[in-house]
Amino acid sequence: MRGKIKQYNRMLGCSWHCYLSTDHATQLEVAATLGVSDSLVSDYRRRIEQELRALSFTEVEQARMFELALRERVRTMVTDRIAKECRPRLRFVSSWDRDHGKRGASLRFFVLGSYRK
């Protein structure tokens, strides 16, 4: 998703609403929330699940720790994005926007915090 900020934000929202939020929204509700089709949400879910299956945890506790870290990281990113959208148009560019806002990342990035250019 290099250079595709809108797609990145949608996938981030899909991750949050489909897997990490305690609201347990349906796919149609997620599509309405994100302003996209349910087939696009389905495609994003397929991609996310593919990435999750690629992770190899040796213990259940590792998977639980990953889920907790991922939930916190994505929650922060989603709420920060929403807060930015509610601000007036004139705003300072945060270090996140400057360093990562124009590049995509995999689920591994959300937790590990590393990024390869």
Q: Kindly provide the b/e burial profile for residues 20-53, where b requires at least 16 CB atoms within 10 angstroms of the residue's own CB.
A: bbeeeeebeebbeebebeeebbeebbebbeeeee
| Structural domain includes residue 108 | yes
| Mean pLDDT of the 71-84 span | 85
| Structural domain includes residue 23 | yes
If one counts the domains in the chain, the total is: 1
Quote the pLDDT of residue 85. 67
* pLDDT tens-place string over residues 54-69: 988 889 999 999 999 9
| Mean pLDDT of the 23-37 span | 92
Overall size of the chain counted in residues:
117
Range of the domain at 19: 5-112
Q: Work out the mean pLDDT of the chain and round it to a whole number.
A: 76
| Structural domain includes residue 45 | yes
| Structural domain includes residue 96 | yes
| Structural domain includes residue 117 | no
| Structural domain includes residue 82 | yes
| Mean pLDDT of the 8-22 span | 91
> Are 96 and 105 in contact, with CB atoms under 8 Å apart?
no
